[in-house]
Amino acid sequence: MSLAPRIVGVETEYGITVDGARRPESGPPIGADEAARYLFRKVVEWGRSSNVFLRNGGRLYLDVGSHPEYATAECDDVRDVVVQDRAGEAILNDLAEDATARLAEDGIGGRVHLLKNNVDSEGNAFGCHENYLLRRRRDFQRTVDQLVPFFVTRQILTGAGAVRQTTGGATYCFSQRSEHLWDAMSSATTRSRPIINSRDEPHGDPDLYRRLHVISGDSSVAETTTLLKLGMTALLLDLVESGKRVDDLLLTDPMRAIRDVSRDLTATTPLELVSGRRRSALEMQEEYLERVLAHTSGMTLRPVEQQVLELWERGLRALRTGDHSLVDTELDWAIKERLVERYRTSSGAGLADVRVERLLLAYHDISPTDGLAEKLRARGLMARVATDEEIETARTTPPQTTRAKLRGDFVAAAQERRRDHTVDWVHLKLNDASQQTVLCKDPFASSDERVAALIAAMGA
């Protein structure tokens, strides 16, 4: 027996900034709004909108607050999500290069930077949202309640790392995002910023499916952190959907706990449970891992699932022993911690030093030339999951085993034949006299005779 496939995807909002811009005439500096317009000018030229679906099945759009956002196509393998996510980075980096060239043509100059982080210089937060397809059940609320403590404590492995300014000085912590969350679950995404968004948008057959929309995680730069973040969550979801319960780990005050956990790099601060017990984030994650291992015992696991379990265990061992070198090429917070400490040792800079702040921004800059990630990968200081060839292919090719293939093939055919079309996660439509529309409700279906007929109807 093996684990059933699960549809997974990730949506990443990017920070945007311009440095070195000089207007031909006096005026205010280039802000995020104007920079975003330059960034999406090329998209609007060919897509007639700043909200488009791509040939790889993913979605590219401009979100609230002038944040470029890329949503991966549906994947039934978390490794595929990593590849598609990196393809989104490559697509957006090309747009940033194009925007920089357009600024130069307009006599403004400067360079557009896209940052895969979660907080800007003004303290405004933006997110990385995870999506997991669930079977629709009446006990959704109970399922979500059980998952909240997992997401509160997961950051000790999957946080991006951050410097927090306090009255007592600057300190290093696990997560950028945790300081900006206020509810365990809510239908809002900007006002109250919950851990889990409860809005019921399955993007599939509503009688069969419901989507778990997690908005509390940090954006991951390291591919291995993305893999662990999605993979460990998918494994726990399989356990919970099988009927096993983890509600003995419910937290009395999850929103206080999420901050306490982020601020304690030892992961040993005791958290109060509803049961009256007290457990640290480290102990709770060890408990989740132990239960997942028991649940999957005797199953035939794929290599990616084995990799997730191994990294999960090793990450916890690194925290238990204090030997962060066990994961300092794989987990963002540990990679960044090593980077900062080496820089501080060589420069004498404190955590609050502006040079450290610039170093942290460079870590999240997706540019291969201006950012640090590509340099770290090249030197073996940041582990890889996806190959360059896979990332390049994923820029224009959708996952082949999910509904994304139908969408990607339709978009590619419509673009090549210059046919006006409208696409969302479930609809494919030709905007001609026929107004032919196909509703694709099954996220697992990678073939559909109706879509083939729709593509054929476009003509050569």
Annotated binding site: 11, 59, 61, 69, 72, 425
- What is the identity of the amino acid at 130? E
What is the rounded end-to-end Cα distance, in angstroms, of the chain? Answer: 45
Structural tokens at position 260: 């306490």
Residues 372-401 have a mean pLDDT of 98
Compute the mean pLDDT over every residue in the chain, rounded to the nearest whole number: 94
| Higher-confidence position of 335 and 143 | 335
| Higher-confidence position of 168 and 365 | 365
Alpha-carbon distance of 180 to 138, in angstroms, equals: 30
Annotated binding site for ATP: 59, 72, 425
Tens of pLDDT, residues 184-221 = 887 665 556 889 998 899 999 999 999 999 999 999 99
Confidence of residue 460 (pLDDT cuts 50, 70, 90): low
Pairing of strands 8-13, 128-135: antiparallel
Tens of pLDDT, residues 340-357 = 999 999 999 999 999 999
Tens of pLDDT, residues 228-284 = 999 999 999 999 999 999 999 999 999 999 999 999 999 999 999 999 999 999 999
Residues 28-54 have a mean pLDDT of 89
Residues 6+ apart with CB under 8 A from 113: 16, 17, 18, 19, 96, 365, 367, 370
Annotated binding site for Mg(2+): 11, 61, 69
- Based on the residue annotation, tell me whether 63 is a catalytic residue of this protein: yes
pLDDT attached to residue 184: 84
Residues 411-423 have a mean pLDDT of 94
Report pTM.
0.96
User: Which listed residue (19, 63, 139, 409) is catalytic?
Assistant: 63
Alpha-carbon distance of 42 to 149, in angstroms, equals: 43
What HEC string does the chain produce?
Answer: CCCCCCCEEEEEECEEEEECCCCCCCCCCCCHHHHHHHHHHHHHHHHCCCEEECCCCCEEEEECCCEEEEECCCECCHHHHHHHHHHHHHHHHHHHHHHHHHHHHCCCCCEEEEECCCECCCCCECCEEEEEEEECCCCHHHHHHHHHHHHHHHHHHHCCCEEEEECCEEEEECCCCHHHCCEEEECCCCCCCEEEECCCCCCCCCCCEEEEEECCCCCCCCHHHHHHHHHHHHHHHHHHHCCCCCHHHCECCHHHHHHHHHHCCCCCCEEEECCCCEEEHHHHHHHHHHHHHHHHCCCCCCHHHHHHHHHHHHHHHHHHHCCHHHCCCCCHHHHHHHHHHHHHHHHCCCCCCHHHHHHHHHHHECCCCCCCHHHHHHCCCCCCCCCHHHHHHHCCCCCCCCCHHHHHHHHHHHHHCCCCEEECCCEEEECCCCCCEEECCCCCCCCCHHHHHHHHCCCC
Alpha-carbon distance of 325 to 323, in angstroms, equals: 5
Alpha-carbon distance of 254 to 141, in angstroms, equals: 16
Residues 6+ apart with CB under 8 A from 292: 232, 235, 236, 239, 309
